Amino acid sequence: MSVFTASFAIRAYIAVAAVGVAAPLVGSFLVQRRLALIGDGIGHLAFAGVAIGVALSVAPVWGALAASLIGAIALDRLRAAGRIAGDLALALVFYGALALGIVLLGATHRFDSSALGVLFGDPFVASDGDVLVAVVLCALVVAAIVPFYRQLLAVALDEETARSSGLPVDALNVLTVALTALLVSAGMRVVGLLLVASLLVIPVAAGSRLAHSFRDTVRWAIVIGVLSGLVGLLVALAPPGTLAPGGTIVLTSIVVFVIAAFAGRRAARRHPRSS
């Protein structure tokens, strides 16, 4: 049997495809709201959750999910209430969480290769259960965004006007960060907590170079997210098979971004827009 069609590879394809669809979908709203790096910070919170889960003998994904959800929502509410401001406070929380995770894992003698797997991902060692959890979490993200797509877009376009028109802006903001936390937890096994945020952002950045509307950007971003994930896995599987899949997936998405930026510029030259 070819390594490309082995059961571990099939599981990885499924998990990566699920994250490839869901990450750009939620990432589009984050990028539009200039919150592109929040996924990175939530990844740090999730790492602390993994460590707490290990200390309490709870599966890492559940610890990551709980910590990232609670932390992300709490930070959003504190931000909305004006209790925290600026990058400094967020950096303190996020790096503090990362440090807490390292200390806890060290204290429980679990700061080993499995910790690196959480940080940098390895979909080839994902079990059926891991893949199922990732797919379900991604499906939840998609199922939550589709009915609220227009409300989320209205808030992302102009929060003040959305609030003035009676939309529940605070609830929609909580929904956005909660979905980001779900996505980070889902992507933990695929590309790792330190790299999952890249799939929230890079496919969206690439898609925006090819589109003239938000909806088309989302469509392109999903295509690019899935494509980058699958090609990245194939690159990692190809001989000699020693490349880390989390890294190849992200690097592939960056290559696609460069191609999209070039293609978008050429298209703009050929079809200059009216003003």
Partner 1 sequence: MSVELSGVRFSYGASPVLDGADLSLSTGEFVVLAGHNGSGKSTLLKLCLGLLRPDAGSIRVLGGSPDDASVRRRIGYAPQGLRVVTSIPISVGEVVTAGLTPTTPTIRRDRAGERERTRSALAAVGMEDLVRECLFELSGGQQQRTILARALVADPPLLLLDEPTTGIDQQLRPRLAQELRARADAGATVLAVSHDPDDFHAVLDRILVISEGRLREMTHDQFHAHFEVP
Binding site for partner 1 (CB under 8 A): 28, 31-32, 34, 147-148, 150-151, 153-154, 157-158, 160-168, 204-205, 208, 211-217, 273-275
Least separation in angstroms between CB 173 and partner 1: 15
Q: Return the number of the residue (105 or 223) whose C-beta is nearest partner 1.
A: 223
Least separation in angstroms between CB 167 and partner 1: 5
Tokens in use for 95? 């790096």
Q: Return the number of the residue (77 or 163) whose C-beta is nearest partner 1.
A: 163
Q: Return the number of the residue (183 or 204) whose C-beta is nearest partner 1.
A: 204
Output the DSSP codes for the chain.
Answer: --GGGSHHHHHHHHHHHHHHHHHHHHHHHHHHTT-TTHHHHHHHHHHHHHHHHHHTT--HHHHHHHHHHHHHHHHHHHHHTTSS-HHHHHHHHHHHHHHHHHHHHHHTT--SHHHHHHHH--GGG--HHHHHHHHHHHHHHHHHHHHHHHHHHHHHH-HHHHHHTT--HHHHHHHHHHHHHHHHHHHTTTT-TTTHHHHHHHHHHHHHTT-SSHHHHHHHHHHHHHHHHHHHHHHHHSTT--S-HHHHHHHHHHHHHHHHHHHHHHHHHHSPPP-
Q: Return the number of the residue (62 or 148) whose C-beta is nearest partner 1.
A: 148
Least separation in angstroms between CB 119 and partner 1: 28
Least separation in angstroms between CB 92 and partner 1: 27
Least separation in angstroms between CB 206 and partner 1: 11
Q: Return the number of the residue (204 or 256) whose C-beta is nearest partner 1.
A: 204
Tokens in use for 229? 């994930």
Q: Return the number of the residue (1 or 81) whose C-beta is nearest partner 1.
A: 81
Q: Return the number of the residue (101 or 203) whose C-beta is nearest partner 1.
A: 203
Query: Peptide bond preceding 240: is omega within 30 degrees of 0, i.e. cis?
Result: yes
Least separation in angstroms between CB 152 and partner 1: 10
